[in-house]
Amino acid sequence: MGERGFDAQLLGHLVEVASDDQVHLVQRVAGGIDPGTVFGKHASSLAGLVTELPRVHAALFHHHRQGQPAIRLLNRLCANGVRLVRGVRDIWGADPTLDGLLAVLAEAIGEPPSRDLAGDLATRLQRHVDDLPALIATRFKRAWAGPAGPTLADSVADEVACLLAFADRDPTALEHDLTAAARAGKPLDADTVWRALLPDPAEHVVAGVVRGTAELRDLRLFHPGTDQRPLRAATGLRWGMSTGRLHKFVSGFAVAGEACVVTVTVTARDKPSAGRLARRTLAELLDQYLAGTRFAELELDPRVLVARVGTTSTLELGPPVRGTPQAKPLTTPHLPEEVRRSLRMAHIAARTDSPSAAAALSWSAVEACGLANRDELAAALSLQCLRQAVVQTHRNVRLSVVTRLAFARNRTELAALSARQARRAADACPPGPRREELRDALAHADKIHREVRDAHDDLRGKLDTTALEAAAPYRRRFHLDDLNTWVDVLTGPSPLDDLLPHLHPLAGRQAAVWRSRLASPRRCAAWLRRRQQRMTTVLDALYATRNLTLHAGVFQSAADTVHGAGAVLVTDLVLELLGHWYNTAPTARQPVSVVTALARRQAAVLAGFARGTPPAALDFESLTAPVPSAPWRLR
């Protein structure tokens, strides 16, 4: 699970210049674009207008051009779009852009559209979709300026997260820019925060190495913004004041065999996203040469160098690598053959550069398990999402504690260092007026150190988690020994009560929301139904993307980076669901039987809620496992 939104430096400075509501907005947005988070928190699951409606537009457009997707699936996608826009309008209120979107989508589902009508609807829909970024910016600035209420604030934050994901905003660059804005030491106005969240696009030049050839002939005919040199003669490339850094980057590649250095100019919001866009652009350009020179093995090296045009700063990027001291398998070796095939497809999907290909392969991984019933699968996945959401509350509480203490400790260490430096300077200075000045500076530094140290000690007392850890034991990386112990902590009087006032807004409010939700069968049932509906729309969209990619050859579309990442996360969720079952199953049932059983269990959970059974009575530890007593705990 990801940790964006809990950067110690960002939050440490942000809480000093922003209100709790504003900090919560920033944390929720940052968490939504974390590629390492669970599906339920990622932008691809948040049902944002700017990420979901391009799917509907693509479906209408390609149905007009090629008859894909088929009418039945097209109608489902349009109906999903209507529900999405209505949901936002119910929270935000009437707006010309939202009303225009509803009018077009309502016409699309009014009667099966002809292919000509589908093309006209796609054109009209796109006009309103183009207005969404400005609408989202306006709503964010309004929410930043004053109290918006939790429902409206969460909706706005989710839409902003989806807009940032749509723009391929890099999470690390986002946190860096927000920290720089917060460090200015003055109250943050909405315009400043928005510029940090979504900077204006800028031109970047990116260099990469293609192995297998010393020249890509006629490259500028396919992309005018490119340049190239053989690797052996790369000193001919010029980047103005960054030329030296370019040559140093190129010198790090072994000159063995044929290779060339290619530069491409792209427009992006930050350097990491420029590097990703350039890699994708070069990879797609290589399609031409791999087809034209079939026996050559052309390969793009994963390392690239990025420079923003008109500046001297550069950034070298390589393949992202996340390590772990010990890699563990998903389940026991005794798996049905369908799941083994799915694991292979999921692995390939997670490694491909093309988002549309990743989405198509992800759906193929689901199909390899025999899971063709999307409605049944959505019901089963909603149970796993419920389990994940409760786990996430524990993780965020722990992250908030660790983050607050880390920033306080860092500030104490810096204050101590400043005091030591002031003492050395005063001791080394000969007697006189200058020494007296240094003595005054030392006294001030010692005072600051004492204040910061005392604040750190006070915070450690307030954030003492000894009792909490005894009530809900966990292992490395906050992995709970028994999820039910955390549910008991969350829903009853517990050591958590003393911690909540001192947590960051996202962790504290999320714990409070789930405490209330787990005490209310009606609210928990509504959440579970919404999650099931959302999973249905995601699976429908994933299936449509698979059809467009494999049947119509569509490998590029608006927001495809979000959809590709989301598709991989959906496959992860499916495999997590199956893995949790097979790890405790006495015999290995077929995946379709597992999903059917879990869909029935979800219906049993909803029936229990309808009878008034409290959600806290659920056996969360075994909610998606083959335990006879599930879904309720034996008391």
Q: Is 520 exposed, middle or buried (0-12, 13-18, 19+ CB in 10 A)?
A: middle
Answer whether 433's CB lies under 8 Å from 469's CB. Answer: no
Rounded CA-CA distance 170/407 in Å is 23
Task: Please tell me the distance from the alpha carbon of residue 86 to that of residue 21, in angstroms, as a whole number.
Answer: 25
Residue environment code for 130-158, b if the CB has 16+ CB neighbours within 10 A, otherwise e: eebbebbbebbeebbeeebeeebbbbbbb
End-to-end alpha carbon distance in the chain: 31
Q: What is the pLDDT of residue 633?
A: 83
Question: Is the dihedral angle over the CA atoms 72, 77, 81, 84 positive or is it negative?
Answer: positive
φ and ψ at 263, to 5 degrees? -115, 145
Encoding tokens for residue 395?
């993780």
Residues in the chain: 635
pLDDT in tens, 273-330: 999 999 999 999 999 999 998 888 899 999 999 999 988 889 999 877 666 777 777 7
Give me the torsion for CA of 209, 210, 214, 217, rounded to 10°. -120
Question: What pLDDT, on the 0 to 100 scale, is given for residue 550?
Answer: 73
- Please state, in angstroms and rounded to a whole number, the distance separating the CA atoms of residues 573 and 388: 10
For residue 24, the model assigns a pLDDT of: 96
What are the pLDDT digits (tens) for 188-232? 899 999 999 999 999 999 999 999 999 999 999 999 999 999 999
Helix, strand, coil proportions of the chain in percent (round to 5)?
65, 5, 25
List, in sequence order, every beta strand (DSSP E) within 118-269: 202-211, 226-230, 259-268
Interatomic CA distance for residues 371 and 367, integer angstroms: 5
Give the whole-angstrom CA distance, residue 590 versus residue 570. Answer: 19
Q: What angle do CA 476, 15, 458 make, to 5 degrees?
A: 65
Share of the chain above pLDDT 70, in %: 97
The Cα–Cα gap between 361 and 495 comes to 46
pLDDT in tens, 170-192: 999 999 999 999 998 778 899 99
Quick check: 376 and 595 in contact, CB under 8 A? yes
The number of C-alpha atoms within 13 Å of 423 and in the hemisphere containing its C-beta is 9
Give the tokens for residue 245: 């850094």
CA 68 from chain centre, in angstroms, equals 29
Q: Which residues of the chain have pLDDT under 50?
A: 1-2
3-state secondary structure of 464: coil
Give phi and psi for 283, each to the nearest 5: -60, -40
CA distances (Å), 253 to each of 184, 304, 394, 543, in order? 40, 11, 45, 41
**DSSP secondary structure, 101-142, as one string:** HHHHHHHHHHSPPPHHHHHHHHHHHHHHHTTHHHHHHHHHHH
Q: Two tokens at 511? A: 């714990």
> What tokens does 487 get?
């549910």
What pLDDT, in 10s, does the model give residues 368-385? Answer: 898 989 999 999 999 999
Q: Which two tokens stand for residue 257?
A: 């065999």
Query: What is the radius of gyration, based on Cα positions, of the chain?
Result: 27
Q: Cα–Cα distance between 288 and 318 in angstroms, integer?
A: 24
Q: What is residue 628's predicted lDDT score, i.e. its pLDDT?
A: 66
